[in-house]
Every structure is written in structure tokens, then in C-alpha cells.
Chain A
Amino acid sequence: MTHSTANPADRVLRVGDHTFDSRLFVGTGKYPDLEVMKTALEASGTQCVTVAVRRLKLGVPEGKSLLDYIDRQRYVLLPNTAGCFTADDAVRTARLGREAGMSDLVKLEVLGDKDTLLPDPAGTLEAAATLVGEGFTVLCYTSDDPVVARRLEDLGVAAVMPAGAPIGSGQGILNPNNISIIIERATVPIIVDAGVGTASDVAVAMELGADGVLLNTGIALATEPVRMARAMRAACEAGRDAFLAGRIPKRRYASASSPTEGTIAFAGE
């Protein structure tokens, strides 16, 4: 049995013109080395990997570079604007990323400050408007604020990516109420981005009805990144399936799983 036949009824995820069978988006930062990253990406089953845009180091003889470890037949590149704190910087970085990657996808981040790395709403909205206007397929990192999420959808982003918790914090989904409000009102895919610490965090996000999850540190800095990548893949499939399967309601008291009738005659009966 393979997983593709195990999930016969699920539809592919569409983001702009791209379609994905895997709903996991994985970053390429912070791995012990690029070989581990390559194996972890494979284990994760992802079809889309984020990359950062940074100055080439001049005068340094070029060794192997990141892209030598990323099979572009297998993975779609998703350049990010990480490290940008203004709309203008993010737009410039996005343009460079598109030119370098020959891809229209961009993970837009306009950050508010260095302590929280949470997005700046005003800058994010401004940059999103510009990039949508320039034809980018914008996957937009944002807080878990349902109002900002809606504004971004109105601007035409291809996917809204609310933070579950601060980047790299590993705290999981801090405010499931907000995330599920965003999902319930969404007109584009919602991909939970940032904050995932372990597999159950991914499952929880998908069970809320998220269309996908993006993560990086949770895999890259785990003691065993490859095993954790496998865990994240399975958790993403588990959470998606559980969402589609329709879970039982919660009850405060018990409900027997074995028949309550037909027991043998008990002492005293």
C-alpha cells in the first residue's frame, strides 16, 4: 500500500498555478550540513522548498552551493524575503529572488522587529499589493490576525501563511481560535507558517483545516533531522486525513466502546 492510494479522495493543493500532492513546505536553513538537508527534504516528501536571497560572497572560490543539493525537477523553489523590515526592501529582495530562481513564487515576509520576527502588518500589506501587481504568486507570511488575513486575500495573494507562533520558537499553534477563524473565512489556501516544534503541532494545524504547513527549524535543529522530517510528513498526512475523516465530538463523560449488555452474570446478580 502506498500513501497515494491510501488517500484516494483528497484533492491536490493549488497555490496560484502550482499544484502540490504534498501539503508540507520545508525550509532549507540551519541544517547540520547540506547532505543532511538533502536527505531530510526527501524524507519530508515536500514538493516546495523555501530559500533565502543573500549576497554572494565575493572572492571566495565557489564550492558546492545550496542549489547543487536541490533537485529542481522534484522541488519548486520558494524564495523568501526573510530579513526584510520594510516593504521596499522586501520588494527588491522578491524581484532578485524571482530573477535568480526563474520562478514567480515568493514567500513574502516584512518583519516588525528582530525580537519577535513577527510581521509588520502595514509593510506586509504594502509589499503584497506591489508584488501582486507585478505578477508574483505571493505566499504571504502574516500574524494569526484574521483581519489582516482577509486584507491580504482582498489584495490578491495566492496563499495566506499565518504564524502559529514566533519563527523558530517551537511553541506550536498558540491561538487555534484565530487560525480556525482565518480558515473558515478563507478564499485562498491557508498555510500555517512558523512556530512548529514537533509532529503533533503539524497534525493540529491540519486538523484545524489548514491547507498546508511550512516549517524549517523544527526539522533542521532536531537531534535527528531526517527522522524528524519523516515524522512531519506523517503528521501532515495524519492531520489532513483526520480533518477529512470527521472526528468524533468531545464529551465530558465516558461512552463505552464495548457492549454494555450481554455480560455474564455478575456476583450479586
Chain B
Amino acid sequence: MTNLQALYQQVILDHGRNPRHFSQPEHAQIDQVCFNPLCGDKIHVYCDYAVDRKTFQALSFTGDGCAISVASASLMMVALQKKDSAYFYEAFDYLKRLLAGEAVDLSTIDAFSAPEDIANMRRIQVIAGVKNFPMRVKCATCAWHTMAAVVEGGSEPIKTE
């Protein structure tokens, strides 16, 4: 598999073309936007919290972007439905380690014990193909940074470069 094939694996192409949870709710408690001024890409993440103020009740996104950024956002959406911020940080940390080139053993991460969690994280593994394309890493993390801002309750638009 060439670097390019590793980058554009079927999962990426599929999620890039048919992003999941891709919709703009009429009302969202939180609407956070990530904007890349150098290329013009823009991703909105919408979120409602459950009554416990912790669980992501409704989580969706919209935006214009390349296959990598849309697929990464879509995979994140799938993984985070009905999860909470602690889980998000675990997942983001996992992604960062993958992007740093680490071979992560999923079974060592307590947060990912349910079969569904493991399946989601396996899919997220394909995003790591971007590590050989430094200029594109920002595409892969754009939605995740936006999500971090959602969790931290910021309201300023997020920028990546």
C-alpha cells in the first residue's frame, strides 16, 4: 500500500463522500466553527447536552472541506454519540498518538472496552494515514479541535493553520 493509498482508504473515501451525522439542527445549544484561513475550509459542530450537562445528546456537523477533514469529522461524530467529554479526550488523545506514529494497543485503553467503541476506534485508525502528509494533519484534526472548543465551552471560532 503506497502512502497515498494509506491516506485515501475506503473508510476515508466513504465517510468523506457520505458523512454521518451531517446536518444542521434548527436549534443547537452549541454551534462551534473551525476555520482554516489558509485554505478556506470551514466546519461547524453542533451539540446539545443531556440534562446531566455532560452527555452529548445531539451531535452533528456541517461544512465544506476535503475528504480527510470531512471523514475525520464524520468518524468522530459516530464515535462520540451519547458519550461525554472525558470520553472525547480519550479519543482525541488516541488520535494524536496515532498521528505521532505510535502503534496503539486498543485493549490497553479502558475507555474503549465495549465492542462498539473498539469498532469505532478501529475505523479512526485509518485517519493515521495522514501522518505522512504533514500539510494535511490540520485537515484531520480540524473537527477534533472544534469539538475540544465545544467541550471547553468556548465561543470564539477556532482557527487552524
Co-assembled chains A and B: no
B-binding residues in A (CB < 8 A): none
